[in-house]
Amino acid sequence: MAGTMQAWQYSAVQGKVEDSISVNDVAKPTASSLAKGQLIVQVITAALNPVDYKFPEAGFIGRMMIPRPTTVGLDFCGRVVAKHPSSSAFEEGQLVFGAYNSLTGAGTLSQHIVIPEKFCAILPPGVDPDHGAAAGTAAITAYQSLMPDTSKSGAKIFINGGSGGTGTWAIQFAKAMGAEVTVTCSTANVGLCRKLGADEAIDYKTVDLISSLKEKTHDFDLVIDNVGMDDELYNIREVLLKPTGTFVQVGIPAVTNCIHC
């Protein structure tokens, strides 16, 4: 077996991260190097998320948070090719999918990855590896934002940004929990959101979103902002939420504006 493999990496980011990455030869992991609970997975498909470019482009904070050189990507689907001898959850040859839980410098845009088995799940039969790779970060974020331990059947949930990765998962999870779901999306994605189960889809291209939402006085048990609208949505949270309601902030697009220096 060759001692090297290829990975998409960056060491410094000037401008856009896509202009700073290159394919590099790196050391290929070996079974003897695995710690307890680790697997080696041969990557079939890797998926990208906003965090994969927002933090590398975030100036000195990005440089402090992420070791360099960095391999891009958190999400993946692939085949187990080696495991620690103590592992019993997976077998070599199985298809698995999952995600790293943080930006550590390791990434999934690589021919092989070393990953804790607790971050993996067996790919269900019949599921396309491309679809499995797209689940990881977005699905976990959506599930956690819905606070499944406290959300109840019949809850009214508003999701700002229903047609993105996190939003599309959140709609499906919320409906499976028995919630009534209102989302925002563009004109082109109204049909998609309704197909996924949204009870109401507000087209922000055709209405003033904040004015429209203000009409829904104390209507929601949970408001999730996947987009990040500066302070606009947060500032009307007390109008939208029931007295015991919760506001969850997921999207923070202005992060680079805040810390880029």
Taking the model in full, what pTM does it have? 0.87
End-of-domain residue from the set 103, 134, 165: 134
CA-CA distance, 7 to 255, in Å (whole number)? 27
The total domain count for the chain is 2
Which tokens hold the place of 50? 């906003």
196 and 230 together in one domain: yes
pLDDT at 1 over 60: no
242 and 157 together in one domain: yes
Beta bridge pairs of residue 70: 10
Which tokens hold the place of 229? 């609208």
**For the domain that residue 239 is a member of, what is the CATH number?**
3.40.50.720
15 and 49 together in one domain: yes
105 and 29 together in one domain: yes
> SS3 letters for the chain?
CCCEEEEEEECCCCCCHHHCCEEEEEECCCHHHCCCCEEEEEEEEEECCCHHHHCCCCHHHHHHHCCCCEECCCEEEEEEEEECCCCCCCCCCCEEEEECCCCCCCCCCECEEEEEHHHEEECCCCCCHHHHHCCHHHHHHHHHHCCCCCCCCCCEEEEECCCCHHHHHHHHHHHHCCCEEEEEECHHHHHHHHHHCCCEEEECCCCCHHHHHHCCCCCEEEEEECCCCCCHHHHCHHHHEEEEEEEEECCCCCHHHHHCC
128 and 160 together in one domain: no
pLDDT at 258 over 60: no
149 and 219 together in one domain: yes
Containing structural domain, residue 167: 139-257
pLDDT at 260 over 60: no
**For the domain that residue 47 is a member of, what is the CATH number?**
3.90.180.10
Mean pLDDT of the chain: 91
229 and 122 together in one domain: no
pLDDT tens figures, 173-191? 999 999 999 999 999 999 9
Residue 253 confidence (pLDDT)? 58
End-of-domain residue from the set 106, 134, 162: 134
8 and 128 together in one domain: yes
197 and 250 together in one domain: yes
Pick the residue with more confidence: 64 or 142?
Answer: 142
106 and 52 together in one domain: yes
pLDDT at 88 over 80: yes
Residue 56 confidence (pLDDT)? 82
90 and 189 together in one domain: no
